[in-house]
Amino acid sequence: MSLDLLTIHTDHGPLSLPVGCTLADAVELLLQGSSRGADTIATAVNGEFVARAARADHALHDGDTVLCFSPITGG
């Protein structure tokens, strides 16, 4: 039995994930080995901001571009 995979593009290079993965799954993998937690970064898929609370419901598709970055605050 073969596992269906999708490939997303990140600033760390391509990442293959099982079909059906969410942005939350990808963030977890991208942050492995990092001292940063998922609650300390902002995310975007294909240039569109995705709120932290929406990551678990945001399904990824083959070819999506995922960006994790430091949120900008100020006033």
Please report the domains of the chain, with CATH numbers, ordered by start residue: 5-69 (3.10.20.30)
Q: Where are the beta strands (DSSP E) in 1-75?
A: 5-10, 13-18, 42-45, 48-50, 66-69
For 5-15, write each residue's pLDDT tens digit. Answer: 999 999 889 99
Residue with the bigger pLDDT between 2 and 11: it is 11
Judge whether 71 and 42 are in contact, CB under 8 Å. Answer: yes
Q: What is the pTM of this model?
A: 0.88
- Phi and psi angles of residue 56, each rounded to the nearest 5 degrees, phi first: -70, -20
For 39-54, write each residue's pLDDT tens digit. Answer: 999 999 999 999 999 9
